[in-house]
Structure 1
Amino acid sequence: MSSATAEYRIAVRALCDFTAREGDLDHRFTPSPSAQEGIAGHILIASRRGDGYMAELPLSGTYKSLTVTGRADGYDPAENRLEEVKTYRGNLDRMADNQRALHWAQVRIYGALLCRARGLDEVTLTLVYLDIATQKETLLSQNAQASELEAFFTIQCERFIAWAEQEAEHRLARDAALTTLSFPHATFRPGQRELAEDVYKAASTGRCLLAQAPTGIGKTLGTLFPMLTAMPRQRLDRIAFLTMKTPGRRLALDALAQLRPDEQAPEHAANAAPRVLELIARDKACEYPGTACHGEACPLAAGFYDRLPAARQAAVAENWWDRDALRKVALAHSVCPYYLGQELARWADVIVGDVNHWFDRHALLHGLAQANDWHVGLLVDEAHNLVERARGMYSAELDQQRFNRVRRSAPKALSRSLTSLGRQWQAVVKEVAESTPDDTDRTDYHLLDTLPDKLVGALQNAAASITNHLGEHPEDASFELQELLFEALAFCRLAENFGDHSLCDITLEGRGKALIGLRNLIPADFLTPRFKAAHCAVLFSATLTPAHYYRDLLGLPANTVWREVCSPFVARQLEVRIRRDISTRFRDREASLTPIVAEMAQQYQQAPGHYLAFFSSFTYLDAALKRFNEQYPDVPVFAQTPGMREAEREAFLQRFTPGGQGIGFAVLGGVFAEGVDLPGDRLIGAFIATLGLPPFNAFNEALKARLSARFGQGDDYTYRIPGMIKVVQAAGRVIRSPDDEGVVVLMDDRFAQPGVQALLPSWWAVGGRSSQ
C-alpha cells in the first residue's frame, strides 16, 4: 500500500503525546500514583457522580486518512460536562506545565469527538485532579465551542498525518533498498556465510537461534546483514543490536556503516537508508553534568518540547544517529542529546545499545515494542554474559549504612516510618547474629530461609511515607533520600515476585553495617516473556556451549535452535598443552607456584614474545608475580591491579606492541580476559592457571541446590560451565585471525577430565583429540 492510500489509527493519548506537548523538559522527582491507584481513583470519581454519569465513554472520529479512538473518563449529559480524570500525589501547583498542557490537549480531543458524536454546539471540559492521599478533587473547567474543538482536532490530525505519511514513505523506501542489499565484501569469510544463513532462517521462521561462532569470522557483520535482508521480507519494524560493553556498539556501528543502502546504491531515495540510533547512558550524553533535568536549571531542558519537532525532523533527514551525530543535531536545536535519543528510539529502524534496553525491568525498547505492537528482531552480542547480566537486573540490595545516614538527616515528618524500619533492620540483624555460634566471625554471610516479611512491610511503609512527603515538599528531595526511595521500591517490587528463582541473604560487616539482598539465581523466569515479545532473537558468542545451559537459565523458547559455526582456525595454529602435574586448588596454591612460573619461563625462553597469564584471584596473581620476579628477573612483566582506571587499562594493553616481549599477569574473568583484540604477534600465548570455578561458599552452594532442584544440573551450572566459559574466553585472545599462531597452556590436572575437555572448542587438539 502506498503512503497516499494508507489509513492510520491512533489513540487519543498517543496523538496528543506526539503533537501537543509543549514547554520544558522536567525530570525533577515527582512521586506519582501506581497504576492500581490510578484505576482505583477513576472508579472513585465515577462513584461520586450522578446516576446518568457515563464512565469510560468510547469515542472515535476520522479526519482524512486518520482514525482517532479512545475512552473519555466520564461524561455527565445533564451538565453537558466532559471529564478527564488524573490522579496525583503532593502539591498540584507543582505539576509540570508540560503535563498540564498535555492533559488539556487530551480533553479537547475528546471534546471534539463528543461534539461530533452527539451533535453538540458546545461542551464544558473539565480536568479532574484527584489527590490519592486525601481523595480530594480539584476541578479545572472551561467552556468550549464545537467549532474551536474541531479546529484543534484538525491541527493535531494534520500534524500527525504529515509525519505518518513521511514515515510510510520512509518505510517503503527503506524496504525497497533493503530488498536489493548486497554484502559489502567480495566474499564471505570462512564460517561467515554459514552464520548469515542461520540468522536469516531464524528471522524467516520467527525462532530463537543460539549461534556459537569463533572470533575472527566477522560475527557482527554476519548477523546484521541477514537480519537487514530479512527486514522487508518478514515485515520487521525494528532491529535491536544489543551489546554487553561499549566496544560492541562501535563494532556494530562500523558494520552498519558498510551496509547503508545509500552507500551501496546512491540512486536510492535520500530516505532509503535504515535509521540507525546509538543509545548511550544519560551520564555520558549529558552536556551539563551535575545539573538537574528541568528548565529552571538546564538550558537544554528549557523549551525542550517546543523545539523537539524541528530537532526530530532534522534528525530523520540524516538517518544516522550515533553519539556524535545525535549530539550535533541536538545542540543545533538547543535540546538535550540524551532525551532526543530517547525520542528517536520511536522512529529508528536499527537501535544499537546495551542489553538492558530490552531485558531490564524498565527496558525502553521492550516498552515501546509492547506499546506499538512492533515486530522486533533481536541480535544479542557476547551472549554468554547475559546470564550474569540478567541476574543483576533482577536483584536488589539494601545498605544499612546508607539507611542510617539518611535517617539521621531526614525530615522530621519521616521520623516515625524510618524509625520503624530501623527497628525491623535491627530485629533481622539480631536474629541472624543470635543464630551464629560465638566462635564464628561476625563479619559473615548468611542465607535467610524466607523473606523478612516485617522488614519488607516496614520498607513499603517507609517508601510510601517518603513518596507522600516529597510530593508535598520536593525541596527535601536530597540525593540520598531519593536513592533510598528507589532502592526500597526496587526491593519491594522484587519481593512481590519472590520465588524459587531468587534467594534472600544478609551480610554482616560490623555494627550498623548490614547488607540485605534479593539475589536472582534463575533469570529465565523474568526473561522468558522478553523473548516471546520479539519476532526472533539471535544470541551469538564464541562460547555458547552447552546449549542447554543457556536454554534453561535464559528461559529460551523450546524450539530454540543451536548452531556451531565451523571454525576458520585449525589445530596446527594453536598448540594446547595441559600440565596434569599441577593443581591450582586452594589448598595447593603455594605448591603450585614453582611449577607454574617454571612453565611460563620455559615457554617464554623457547619462543620470546608477548603472553598473558591468567589467575583466579589478585592474591594468587600477586604470589605468582612475586615468585616469577624472584626467579626470572630478566623477563619483562606487568600486571593487572584491582580497580584499574580506563587510562591504566589502556596502558596495560599498549604494552602489547607488534614484535614486543613480556608477560602480562591478569585475573581470569576480568577486563583483559575477553573483548580484547591483540592480533598477530601482539599476543602469541596464554597461560591459564585456574579452571575459573566460582568460589565454594554459602551463596554458590545455595545456587547449586536451587539449580539442582530446577534442572538437575547444580554442579555443572554453578561451577564447571561458568568457569570453563571464562577459560575459553581468555584462551580466545590468542588466535584472532586465520594467520595467527600461538600456544595455550592449561595448568591444572582437572583440564584432563573428559567432562571438562567436552567444554573446550572442538577445533583444539587436546588430550589426543585429532586435529582438523
Structure 2
Amino acid sequence: MTDLNVAVRTLCEFAARKGDLDLRYTPAPTSEEGIAGHGAVQARRGPRYQREVALAGQCSKLMVSGRADGYDPIAGRLEEIKTHRGDLSRVREAQRNLHRAQLRAYGALLCRQENLNQIDLALIYYDVGKDKETPITETALAEELWRELVQLCEQYSDWAEQEASHRHERDLALKNLTFPFPDFRPQQRALAESVYRNSIRQQTLLLEAPTGLGKTLGTLFPALMAMPTARHDRLFYLTSRNTARQLAVDAVHLLRKKQPGPLPLRTLELVAKDHACEHPDKACHGDACPLAKGFFDRLPAARKDAANHTGALTQGVLADIARQHGICPYFLAQEMARWCDVVVADVNRMFDQSALLHALVRQNDWKASLLVDEAHNLVDRARGMYSVELSQARLLRVRKQAPKALKSKLDGVSRAWQSVIRDHCPDISREPVMLDTLPGSLTGALNRLVSAITDYLADHPPDLALQELMFESLAFTKLAEVFGDHSLCELIRPARGKARLSIQNLIPADFLAPRFEAADSTLMFSATLSPGVYYRDLLGMPEDTCFRSLPGPFTRDQLEVNFTPDISTRQPDRERSLTPIAELIHRQYQQRPGNYLAFFSSFSYLNRVRETLQQQAPDLPLRAQRPGMSADERTAFLDDFNEDNAGVALAVLGGVFSEGIDLPGDRLIGAFVATLGLPPFDHWHDILRQRLEQRFGAGHAYTYLIPGLQKVAQAAGRVIRTPEDTGVIWLIDDRFLQPQIRNLLPAWWA
C-alpha cells in the first residue's frame, strides 16, 4: 500500500485526546479571529522568524505533515500559537495537553528534517480580547520527541489503513454508481449532467431547477458519481428545512438499496444540539454530565462502531451507538463529521460564524463538494447568522440577582447603556434610531463582562440567566469587531429599561465569500434563483459563478396564468380592491370547485378580504391562516387540503404556507396572489436600498423587486407539483403586467 498521509492536527486529535469532554464556558474565538490572532503574534517577531513552516516526515507507516506556526532558526525555537478568550487557566487541561502534543509532534518532524539534537518549544497562548501573549516553554530532545510521535502513529496507523481501504472501495463503487430508476424524469438528466460537469470542473453553479424534476436525487446522484474523478474527499448536502434534510437521507438510502453490490458510503445526518442532547439540564463537562465523563476514553470504540455501520448515521442510529458506549450522541456526531463521506446538515454548519464543516475543510485541507438546496433562502438565513440584538431588559434582570463578584462589571455595562441612550435616544419611542458607529464604551464594557462571567461560571454551578447574557454579549462584541458597511446598528427604546441595540447584517457577502472559496465545487439550486447575479452579489460567490435555468418538466397547458389589469393592491387602493378580489375568487371557485390558496401581503388585508367574501359569497368554504399558529395547527391546516374538503384557504405571502409545502394533485388546483410581496417602504429598507445601490448599483431591484417576486414565484409554485397536475394562478395587481416585473417571473409562466 502507498504511504498513508495524515496531518499533525488530525493525528493528535485522534490519538492524544484523553479524559472528559469539557466545554465549561470557555468561549472560543471564531476562525477569523484565530487567523487574525496568529497574524498579530507573527507580526511581532523579527526578520529571521519563519512563518507557517512546512514539515513532513515518514513515521511508522504514515507520512505525517503539517505547518508549524513559526520557527526562529537562530534561537532554535519552534512556536505553536493558540488563540483564546479570558483567563488562560480556563483553558482545560485536556485541551492544553492536545496543544502540547501538536507542538511536540511538529518538534519531532523539525528535528528530523533539520538534523537537530534538541529544540526549544514554545506554546503561545494569545488572548484575542486583550491582545496578550502567554508563552509556555520547554526544551526537548529530538530522540524523546520522535519516540512520542512513533507512539501516536502506531495508535493511528490501523485506522489510517482502514480509511485508505474505505476510500479506495468507496471511489470504486461510486465510479460504477447506477441510477435507482429505469430512466430519468423529464429534464432530470439535464439537471444531473449540469451537476456532474460542475463538480468535475471545480466550479460554482447557480442552478434554477423548477419543481417536479426530482432535485434531491438529481443532484446527489451525479455529485456522488463525480467524487472519484474530481477527487472530492467529502460531499456536504446543506438545506434550510428538516424535511429537505430527511429527503436527502432517504435519497442516499435509495441509492444504496438499488446498487447491485455494497455501497461503502458513510452518510451522516447532523442535527441541532437541542434535538440530540440527552441531558439538556446539565453542563457539558465530566463533573456535571455522565455522558461527558471519560468521553475521549470511550470514543475510540464508539467511533469504530459508527464507522463500520452499513447504513446512514441518522440521529436515531447515533443515539443508539452512543448509548451503548455511554457517551454524548451530539458530540459523537461532531466526531463522525470528520470521517463520513456525505454529511447532510443545515446550512449554518457551513456558513455561520462557528461552522463545523467549514472548520473541518480548512483543518484537513479537504476537497469538498457543496450541494445547497433551497438556496434562495440563504440570503435571509445568512443575514440572520451575522446579526445580533442586545437587550437592556435582560441585563437589568440579571443585575438584580447577580452575585457580588460580577456587580462592578454589570454596573459598568449598565452605565454604558445609559450613555448610549442619553446620546442617541433620550425619549421613549417605537421608532428606531440608526447609529453611524458602534458605541465603543458599551462594547468595551461588554468585553470585560464576558471575561468576568466566563471566570465566574468556571467555578460555580450553571446559571442559565448568566449564560444567556454572556452569549448575547459575546455575539455582539464579535460582530462589533468586524462592523462595516455590510451591516447597520439600530437602537430602539419602546419603554424605560427596554432599549434594544442590534447589529443587523445587510450584505452577507463579506462573511460568506471565504466559505465558498474553501469549497472545491459548489452547487446552489432552487426553483427560484433568477436573476443569478443577485445571489452571486449578495452571497459573495466567485465572479466566475455560472448560472443555468432548466426548463420545467411541465407543459404550458398544465398551468393557466391570469393577470388583472384593472385591480391595484397598492396601499391607497386596498379598500377599493376588496370587492373585485372577492368576486374573482368566488367566480373562479364556481367555474372549477376545488382547493385554492389565496395569498395577501398582511393579516390585516387577508381579514378584510375574508370579511368581504363572507358577505358576498356566504356559501364559499373559507379558512384562514392565523398569526402564531402552533405546529399542530399548521399541520391541521394543511391536512384540510384534500379531495373531500374543497374550499379557499387564505394565507400571508412569505409565511409558513407560501413555500416548502407539497400539495400535489387535487389537494391544490389554484392560487391567487394579491400582492407583489414587496417589503415595506420604511427607513430600514431605504438604508438597505442605499447600501445595495452603493455596492452593486441595483438598490431598488435588490431591496424590493427581486425578494418580493421570489416570494410570489414560491407561493404560486405550490400549484403544479407533478406531471399530472393542472391548475390556475391569478396574479392580482396591474403591476404584474409591467415588463420589469414580468421579466422576473418564471419564464414558463409566459
TM-score w.r.t. the length of structure 2 is 0.90
Query: Can you list the C-alpha shifts for 1:482-528, whole angstroms capped at 9, x where unaligned?
Result: 33333333323323322222222222212222222222212222222
Shift of 1:419: 3.1
Asked whether 1:280 is paired with 2:271, we answer: yes
Aligned to 2:19: 23
Aligned to 2:448: 464
Shift of 1:122: 10
- Pair 1:689–1:302, CA change in 2 (3 A): same
- Pair 1:56–1:222, CA change in 2 (3 A): closer
AA in 1 matched with 2:289: C
Which of 6, 10, 13 aligns to 2:7? It is 10
Checking the alignment, whether the CA contact within 8 Å between 1:502 and 1:521 is kept in structure 2 is yes
Structure 2 distance, partners of 1:661, 1:632, is: 15
Query: Can you list the C-alpha shifts for 1:603-624, whole angstroms capped at 9, x where unaligned?
Result: 1122111111111111222222
Query: Can you list the C-alpha shifts for 1:720-757, whole angstroms capped at 9, x where unaligned?
Result: 11111101110011110111011111111111212111
Which of 431, 456, 470 aligns to 1:444? It is 431
Asked whether 1:425 is paired with 2:455, we answer: no
Asked whether 1:529 is paired with 2:514, we answer: yes
- Pair 1:75–1:760, CA change in 2 (3 A): closer
Checking the alignment, whether the CA contact within 8 Å between 1:658 and 1:680 is kept in structure 2 is no
Aligned to 2:158: 162
Structure 2 distance, partners of 1:536, 1:120, is: 42
AA in 1 matched with 2:437: L
Among all aligned residue pairs of Structure 1 and Structure 2, give the percentage whose two residues are the same amino acid: 51
Q: Tell me, which stretches of 5 or more residues in structure 2 are unaligned?
A: none
Query: Can you list the C-alpha shifts for 1:177-198, whole angstroms capped at 9, x where unaligned?
Result: 0111111111111111111111
Checking the alignment, whether the CA contact within 8 Å between 1:242 and 1:354 is kept in structure 2 is yes
AA in 1 matched with 2:434: L
Structure 2 distance, partners of 1:82, 1:236, is: 33
Query: Can you list the C-alpha shifts for 1:64-97, whole angstroms capped at 9, x where unaligned?
Result: 232445659999999x999989787777776545
Asked whether 1:299 is paired with 2:290, we answer: yes
AA in 1 matched with 2:739: P
Greater alpha carbon shift after TM alignment, 251-260 vs 181-190: 251-260
Aligned to 1:582: 567
Query: Can you list the C-alpha shifts for 1:155-207, whole angstroms capped at 9, x where unaligned?
Result: 31112111111111111111110111111111111111111111111112211
Aligned to 1:370: 362
Aligned to 1:50: none
- Pair 1:664–1:112, CA change in 2 (3 A): same
Shift of 1:569: 1.3
Structure 1 distance, partners of 2:77, 2:735, is: 79
Corresponding residue SS for 1:443: strand
Aligned to 1:770: none
Structure 2 distance, partners of 1:203, 1:58, is: 29
Corresponding residue SS for 2:748: coil
AA in 2 matched with 1:464: R
Checking the alignment, whether the CA contact within 8 Å between 1:447 and 1:698 is kept in structure 2 is no
AA in 1 matched with 2:444: Q
Checking the alignment, whether the CA contact within 8 Å between 2:513 and 2:542 is kept in structure 1 is yes
Greater alpha carbon shift after TM alignment, 119-128 vs 474-483: 119-128
Checking the alignment, whether the CA contact within 8 Å between 2:560 and 2:728 is kept in structure 1 is yes
Q: Tell me, which stretches of 5 or more residues in structure 1 are unaligned?
A: 48-52, 766-772
Corresponding residue SS for 2:503: strand
Structure 1 distance, partners of 2:546, 2:115, is: 59
Aligned to 1:342: 334
Checking the alignment, whether the CA contact within 8 Å between 1:687 and 1:747 is kept in structure 2 is yes
Corresponding residue pairs, total: 741
Which of 692, 710, 730 aligns to 2:677? It is 692
Structure 2 distance, partners of 1:596, 1:230, is: 51
AA in 2 matched with 1:199: V
Shift of 1:676: 0.5
- Pair 1:139–1:525, CA change in 2 (3 A): closer
- Structure with bigger gyration radius: 1
Query: Can you list the C-alpha shifts for 1:209-233, whole angstroms capped at 9, x where unaligned?
Result: 1111110110111111111111101
Structure 1 distance, partners of 2:106, 2:502, is: 47
Asked whether 1:474 is paired with 2:458, we answer: yes
Structure 2 distance, partners of 1:127, 1:749, is: 68
Asked whether 1:638 is paired with 2:623, we answer: yes
Asked whether 1:405 is paired with 2:397, we answer: yes
Structure 2 distance, partners of 1:234, 1:54, is: 34
Shift of 1:117: 8.1
Matches within 5 A, 1:83-102: 96-102=92-98
Query: Can you list the C-alpha shifts for 1:350-391, whole angstroms capped at 9, x where unaligned?
Result: 111111111112111111111111111111111111111111
Checking the alignment, whether the CA contact within 8 Å between 2:68 and 2:78 is kept in structure 1 is no
Aligned to 1:214: 210
Checking the alignment, whether the CA contact within 8 Å between 2:447 and 2:477 is kept in structure 1 is no
Asked whether 1:181 is paired with 2:181, we answer: no
Structure 2 distance, partners of 1:639, 1:389, is: 27
Which of 322, 329, 340 aligns to 1:330? It is 322
AA in 2 matched with 1:447: M
AA in 2 matched with 1:451: T
Checking the alignment, whether the CA contact within 8 Å between 2:53 and 2:68 is kept in structure 1 is yes
Corresponding residue SS for 2:560: strand
Checking the alignment, whether the CA contact within 8 Å between 1:41 and 1:130 is kept in structure 2 is no
Structure 2 distance, partners of 1:714, 1:135, is: 43
- Pair 1:704–1:149, CA change in 2 (3 A): closer
AA in 2 matched with 1:286: C
Structure 1 distance, partners of 2:203, 2:109, is: 43
Corresponding residue SS for 1:519: strand
Structure 2 distance, partners of 1:520, 1:221, is: 34
Checking the alignment, whether the CA contact within 8 Å between 1:582 and 1:595 is kept in structure 2 is yes
Checking the alignment, whether the CA contact within 8 Å between 2:622 and 2:648 is kept in structure 1 is yes
Shift of 1:546: 1.5
- Pair 1:68–1:567, CA change in 2 (3 A): closer
Which of 627, 630, 655 aligns to 2:640? It is 655
Structure 1 distance, partners of 2:432, 2:512, is: 28
Structure 2 distance, partners of 1:84, 1:587, is: 66
Greater alpha carbon shift after TM alignment, 333-342 vs 149-158: 149-158
Structure 2 distance, partners of 1:411, 1:137, is: 29
- Pair 1:124–1:244, CA change in 2 (3 A): closer
Checking the alignment, whether the CA contact within 8 Å between 1:42 and 1:73 is kept in structure 2 is no
Structure 1 distance, partners of 2:733, 2:374, is: 27
Structure 2 distance, partners of 1:656, 1:470, is: 52
Query: Can you list the C-alpha shifts for 1:315-373, whole angstroms capped at 9, x where unaligned?
Result: 11115212222222222222211111111111111111111111112111111111111
Checking the alignment, whether the CA contact within 8 Å between 1:278 and 1:353 is kept in structure 2 is yes
Aligned to 2:576: 591
Structure 2 distance, partners of 1:91, 1:676, is: 49
Matches within 5 A, 1:264-275: 264-266=259-261, 268=262, 272-275=263-266
Structure 1 distance, partners of 2:51, 2:210, is: 60
AA in 2 matched with 1:231: M
Structure 1 distance, partners of 2:356, 2:82, is: 24
- Pair 1:592–1:9, CA change in 2 (3 A): same
Structure 2 distance, partners of 1:100, 1:393, is: 30
Matches within 5 A, 1:372-387: 372-387=364-379
Structure 2 distance, partners of 1:118, 1:212, is: 54
Asked whether 1:62 is paired with 2:53, we answer: no
- Pair 1:309–1:263, CA change in 2 (3 A): farther
Shift of 1:714: 1.4
Structure 2 distance, partners of 1:301, 1:26, is: 7
Structure 2 distance, partners of 1:238, 1:110, is: 27
- Pair 1:72–1:574, CA change in 2 (3 A): closer
Corresponding residue SS for 2:429: coil
Greater alpha carbon shift after TM alignment, 457-466 vs 326-335: 457-466
Aligned to 2:697: 712
Structure 2 distance, partners of 1:524, 1:581, is: 40
RMSD: 3.5
Corresponding residue SS for 1:763: helix
Aligned to 1:240: 236
